[in-house]
Amino acid sequence: MPNNLWAQPTLQNHLYKSRYCITNMSDQNKIQKIVRELQADLPLTSYPFKEIAQRCDMTEDELLEAIKNLQEKGIIRRFGAVVRHQRMGITANGMGVWIVPPEDAGRVGKIMATFREVSHCYQRPTFPDWPYNLFTMIHSSTVAECEDVAARISEATGIKDYKLLFSSREFKKVSMVYF
């Protein structure tokens, strides 16, 4: 890996393309350094941000300010532990796929989102052999409970056409390395 990733034009363009007002080069450079640190593991030491700040050539206060700024802009969606929920006892994970009339997707999506067991709810495109347009990840401790949640979602939304696809094998689960 080259030291200066900005030398690669595709990476250089990323933050320019972003709609979030990161327009000057020194800002981009700073943000890239911070992202590179925070996409990895926060040190388990008393002053973790001090260590990171040193590696980013800034003061601890500047770093904390920058992180808060990234959070306000929504560039950082969440700060904390990323968990393996299977190892927390939440072992059944079903991907619910639903056929929802497109004009009704907003109403239905909002109802689905209210379920505690639903971690993600997105609308996605359809294809001739794939008519399912709403996706809900449903997490619980048993398959039966996931099925029960799906049945309750169906009841609450009036959407009868759905399938629950359970994962039989996990091939990969990692955090993205952006820069």
Which of positions 86-125 make contact with other proteins (CB under 8 A)? 87-90, 95, 105-106, 109-110, 112-113, 118-125
Per rule CB under 8 A, is residue 6 in the interface with other proteins? no
Give the Cα separation of 90 and 71 in Å (integer).
28
- Segment 42-81, which members bind other proteins (CB under 8 A)? 42, 44-50, 60, 64, 67-68, 70-71, 73-81
Beta bridge partners of 96: 136, 164
To other proteins, the closest distance from the beta carbon of 173 in angstroms equals 5
Give the Cα separation of 169 and 37 in Å (integer).
31
Q: Structure tokens of 9?
A: 């034009």
Per-residue x/- mask for other proteins, residues 12 to 31, rule CB under 8 A? -xxxxxxxx-----------
Which helix H or strand E contains 35, and what residues bound it?
helix 25-38
Give the nearer residue to other proteins in terms of CB position, either 2 or 74: 74
Among 1, 7, 160, 175, indicate the residue that binds other proteins (CB under 8 A): 175
Give the Cα separation of 131 and 154 in Å (integer).
17
